[in-house]
Amino acid sequence: MRGRVAARPLADIADVACQVFADKGFRPAGISDVAVALGLSHGALYTYVKSKQALLHLALLWALRPGEVDTLTIPVAAVSPHRISELFDSWVADQAGLPILAQSATRLSSRPVEQELGEIIDELYEFIDRNRQVLKLVEWCAGELPELAQLYFVQRRRRTLEQLGEFLQSRIDARRLRPVPDVRAAARFLVEAIAWFAMHRHGDPDSTMLDDSTSRNTVRHLLMAAFVPAAQPGPITPRRPHI
């Protein structure tokens, strides 16, 4: 039919909705923002989803379980906030997590502290970079979903900060890392520095000149310099005078 918009795969709708909500947040973004990004009319988008809440469900499912998107019935209906939290919780359970940090937080190792800290920084950077779309989407939308916010901010992210604080405190007590005014603030500083370069710099027009390798290496270098004491020079052996 002349003028009729061709049917779009549901995965296309989900992918664009995921990007729009991750960039703008759920509340500021509207159905029309997603429709414009897709090249659809406002009304046409409702042939795919029944509501904005249903569109959020579709976006989160695409980020967390993309293989399940094609199993949905069109138009997609909204689900309960509890179901969304279950999706995120199951996704977290499937992730490798942060095993190096978890182990380092509970055990004082005999390895050089710069090796320990370097591996923790690399692990955090890799996890955030690999999952940046999911994390950004959940951060932006958790304010609209209290159960998801409790799961993400309190049970997951806060535990990461606690483990990092435990690691820093134990190595400071052992005189392996520099003392800091507040360990909790230091742990947050470390995570936020990594998160900005691994996740938030993407889409920032003033950061387009920073490629991934430059960002990773610079973050690692600066954080290591901030926490690891400078090597102390060894004793100077006096030279014997020539006779």
Residues 117 and 52 in one domain: no
Task: Supply the pLDDT for residue 233.
Answer: 47
Contacts of 82 (CB under 8 A, 6+ apart): 147
Q: Are residues 107 and 188 in the same domain?
A: yes
pTM: 0.81
CATH number at residue 58: 1.10.357.10
What is the tens place of the pLDDT at every residue in 162-220?
Answer: 999 999 999 999 999 999 999 999 999 999 999 999 998 887 888 888 999 999 999 99
Give dist(CA 159, CA 148) in Å, integer.
15
Assess whether 125 and 73 both reside in one domain. no
pLDDT in tens, 90-144: 888 777 778 999 999 988 888 999 999 999 999 999 999 988 888 888 888 777 7
List, for residues 32-60, the tens digit of each pLDDT value.
Answer: 999 999 998 888 999 999 999 899 889 98
How buried is residue 101: exposed, middle or buried, by Cβ count under 10 Å (0-12/13-18/19+)? buried
Residues 61 and 120 placed together within one structural domain of the fold: no
- Domain of 153 in residue numbering reads as 87-227
The verdict on residue 242 lying in a domain is no
Look at residues 230, 151, 217, 219 and name the one whose alpha carbon lies nearest to residue 191.
219
Closest CA to 38 of 67, 58, 61: 58
Number of domains observed in the structure of the chain: 2
